[in-house]
């Protein structure tokens, strides 16, 4: 918003609005963005020499042929792990998978474009993460054009709640940790560490906030002020969208925000969640809702479309094909091995480094700011 007010940008919009913007004012204009340019669809018959060629294409990322089943479906989209921009990947510290916004948005689009999918059930088990990635994931669900129902697992807090708040109905388990409607931000200031180990750095900058995200020093007073303003903007966006999604007044929602965390049972009472239930309860509700709307006939068999798609069996066996990803997987394996060698308790603490890793990559987070361990 500030960039638009200053004339640095022309318009505030999501990527899915670009086609409409390009065609704006042109009655006969037809604009279509080609996002999968150059990719071909193949069947999955790998027999013979031609099958081997198809297998190699699959390993290189060519999209497989879609399922031919015409039965009505409920798409079950799993949102597991800390939220980050880009593609989903394994945690380098032995924890849960990192949930990539690109992977998630692609899964939602797959469900939205499939005519046989009559509703989406989102299974959330995430403490949150990147504020930007959370917003892009929320937007994809808003634009799916199909009913969305949420089932919360162990944790659906901060960014995990962000992506859930626009759903038609939210289910949580009694012990689910949810809420944490808030934003945190910061960075590592490594100047003291560098001094201790004898590394000297000299930084030349122009502009009082040019070092806002530099890790070579802490925040100056001006930089802290600028960062605080950014965090307030994100918080206002979060609370406004949460209030609209839950059908509350902003002031009413604000009393439940401020980073406060609730169990699923508490969240049902305060209106952040609709009812207690499991994933199966959410799926059954989605099917019943679809039948009530006439999207599914009473005697029809209903299939489940599980998303995101699992990696190919070849990647499970041999690891990522891309050289950069292979190197990362090897490094991650070494870190996990080191963590395991320390013993279970020490390894659990080492997993806390994941938060530090996220903070180093994303200075503004919708992330539950603590870890809760039940023994």
Per-residue pLDDT of 246-288, as tens digits, reads 999 999 999 999 999 999 999 999 999 999 999 999 999 999 9
Residues whose CB falls within 8 Å of the CB of residue 246, separated by 6 or more in sequence, listed in order: 165, 253, 271, 272
Contact 133, 84 (CB under 8 A): yes
- As given in the structure block, the two tokens for residue 212 are 């806002």
Nearest to 168 by CA among 127, 129, 121, 219: 121
Cα–Cα dist 318/314, whole Å: 6
Expressed in angstroms, the distance from the first to the final Cα of the chain is 45
Q: What is the pLDDT of residue 332?
A: 53
Cα–Cα dist 295/250, whole Å: 34
Q: Is 38 helix (H, G, I), strand (E, B) or coil?
A: coil
Q: What is the pLDDT of residue 190?
A: 87
The low-confidence residues of the chain, meaning pLDDT below 70, are 25, 27, 39-68, 91-96, 310-352, 374-375
Contact 83, 133 (CB under 8 A): yes
Q: What is the pLDDT of residue 43?
A: 57
Q: What is the pLDDT of residue 70?
A: 87
Residues whose CB falls within 8 Å of the CB of residue 293, separated by 6 or more in sequence, listed in order: 147
Tokens 């090897």 found at = 330
Cα–Cα dist 248/257, whole Å: 12
Per DSSP, the chain holds a count of helices (H) and strands (E) of: 15, 13
210 has catalytic annotation: no
- As given in the structure block, the two tokens for residue 233 are 């903007």
Q: What is the pLDDT of residue 323?
A: 44
Q: What is the DSSP string of 303-367?
A: EEEEESPPPPHHHHHH--SSHHHHHHHHHHHHHHHHHHHT-HHHHHHHTTHHHHHHHHH-SEEEE
Q: What is the pLDDT of residue 289?
A: 97
Cα–Cα dist 122/108, whole Å: 10
Residue of 88, 91, 158, 164 with catalytic role: 158
Contact 155, 126 (CB under 8 A): yes
Cα–Cα dist 341/193, whole Å: 27
């Amino acid at each position: 918003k500030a960039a638009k007010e200053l004339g640095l940008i022309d318009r505030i919009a999501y990527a899915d609005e670009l086609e409409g913007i390009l065609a704006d004012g042109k009655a006969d204009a037809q604009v279509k963005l080609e996002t999968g340019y150059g990719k071909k669809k193949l069947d999955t018959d790998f027999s013979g020499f031609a099958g081997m060629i198809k297998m190699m294409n699959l390993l290189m990322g060519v999209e497989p042929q879609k399922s031919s089943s015409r039965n009505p479906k409920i798409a079950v989209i799993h949102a597991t792990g800390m939220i980050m921009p880009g593609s989903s990947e394994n945690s380098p510290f032995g924890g849960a998978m990192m949930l990539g916004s690109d992977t998630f948005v692609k899964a939602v689009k797959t469900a939205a474009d499939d005519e046989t999918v009559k509703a989406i059930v989102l299974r959330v088990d995430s403490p949150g993460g990147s504020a930007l990635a959370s917003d892009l994931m929320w937007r994809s669900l808003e634009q799916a054009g199909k009913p969305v129902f949420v089932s919360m697992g162990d944790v659906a807090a901060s960014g995990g709640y962000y992506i859930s708040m626009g759903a038609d109905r939210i289910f949580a388990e009694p012990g689910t940790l949810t809420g944490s409607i808030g934003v945190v931000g910061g960075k590592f200031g490594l100047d003291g560490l560098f001094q201790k180990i004898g590394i000297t750095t000299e930084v030349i900058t122009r502009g009082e906030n040019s070092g806002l995200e530099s890790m070579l020093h802490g925040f100056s007073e001006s930089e802290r002020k600028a960062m605080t303003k950014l965090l307030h903007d994100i918080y206002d966006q979060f609370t406004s969208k949460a209030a609209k999604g839950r059908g509350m007044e902003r002031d009413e929602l604000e009393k439940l925000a401020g980073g406060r965390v609730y169990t699923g049972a508490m969240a049902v009472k305060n209106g952040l969640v609709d009812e207690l239930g499991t994933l199966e309860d959410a799926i059954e509700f989605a099917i019943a809702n679809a039948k009530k709307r006439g999207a599914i006939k009473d005697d029809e068999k209903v299939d489940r479309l599980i998303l995101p798609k699992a990696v190919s069996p070849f990647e499970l066996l041999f690891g990522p094909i891309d050289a950069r990803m292979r190197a990362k997987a090897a490094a991650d394996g070494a870190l996990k091995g080191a963590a395991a060698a320390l013993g279970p308790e020490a390894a659990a603490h080492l997993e806390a480094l994941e938060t530090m890793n996220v903070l180093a990559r994303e200075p503004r987070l919708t992330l539950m700011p603590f870890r809760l361990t039940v023994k």
